[in-house]
Every structure is written in C-alpha cells, then in structure tokens.
Structure 1
Amino acid sequence: MKPLPPLPLASEPTPEGEQTLIPGVRPISLRERIEARMAAPLHPRVPQKPLNVGLFDEDARNQLSLF
C-alpha cells in the first residue's frame, strides 16, 4: 500500500509575512478583520498632548507666588 502524499498546508498573509495554518483552521477573511477593527475602541493616531489651559493648567497651579 502506497502512503498518501501530504496535504498542502493552508497559509495566510500577515504583517510579519506568510504564515502557515494548523490543519483544520481556516484563514481569517478580510471581512472578519474589518469587523474586528470596527468593534474595537478608537485610539488616536498620534499621542495626545496634555490640556494645559485654564482649570487644567498644571504649571499655573504649581505657581509659588502671585508676582
């Protein structure tokens, strides 16, 4: 009896490169990736600066003298 040839492994592209999947696991579709991003909380693209004006001005609150 002849042995069966191995089945080709499924793979998917990732930011790190092409990765193979465990047999029985299907690749994540683009739609599923987009839905996960839409469900995630929003994050700023650039780190935000602190609000140092008026009531929230830490420098003015640490002032030792008026003049």
Structure 2
Amino acid sequence: MAPRRTATKTPKNTPAPVPIEPAPCQPCGGTGNVAITVRVGRKRRPVGQQDGLCLNCLGSGTDPDA
C-alpha cells in the first residue's frame, strides 16, 4: 500500500493581502502622454503642442522604478 500524502492547509482566518497600487509616473503624471512642442519654419519657431508617448513609463502611467 502506498504511503498517504499529507498536505498542509492554509488557515481560513488570515486576511487577504491588500494590493499595493503602483506610484504614478513623474513626467506624465500617470496619464501616459506628455506634451511635445511642435516647431516649424527655418528659424524653428514653436507653433503649438501635440501629445506624445511618455518614454519613461512607455504609456502605462506607472512609475517603472517603484
């Protein structure tokens, strides 16, 4: 006859672990987009701004160093 396997059971009274929310990215403020100045002309004068992908968090909005 094969030996019986005994498995340890986890206690049922332990509270569930609280998920830790990641910190927002500093350059984009957690949005994933940053404003990039658009320049035109020979003297490269600024005309306006457009949205660009945040290169620090790659658009996720969370701080990669946290």
| Bucket of the pairwise TM-score, normalised by the shorter protein | under 0.3
Higher relative contact order (CA 8 A, sep 6+): 2
Could you state the TM-score of these two structures normalised by the residue count of structure 2? 0.26
Rg larger for: 1
Q: Which is helix-richer, 1 or 2? A: 1
Q: Which is strand-richer, 1 or 2? A: 2
